[in-house]
Amino acid sequence: MLDNYFLIVRRIPGISLSPDAYWNLDTYTTSHLLKREKEIMDKEEEEYNKQKGKTKPREKNSEEMEELMDEIQVEG
């Protein structure tokens, strides 16, 4: 819980909550803030990696690669 508090207070400009004020916020508000901030962090990481020339691995193989893998398995 404290990790989430520090994430919100440190990363979002203008939010200066005391730990007690954070604790008294409703769950929807805190979870929504955390979700949005983590999305922003993911985008920042993606942009940083693009600048450094790193690419994100594909989550799915291309159809051509799938066919090639099938051929190799049949032959083996």
Digitized pLDDT (tens) for each residue of the chain, 76 residues in all: 778 888 888 888 778 888 888 888 888 888 898 899 899 999 999 999 888 887 766 667 778 878 888 888 876 5
Model pTM score: 0.56
Asked if residue 76 is part of any domain, the answer here is no
Asked if residue 61 is part of any domain, the answer here is no
Asked if residue 62 is part of any domain, the answer here is no
Asked if residue 75 is part of any domain, the answer here is no
Domain region containing 1: 1-7+15-51
Q: Cα(first)–Cα(last) distance of the chain, in Å?
A: 52
Number of domains in the chain: 1
Q: In the structure encoding, which two tokens stand for residue 12, read together? A: 């979002």
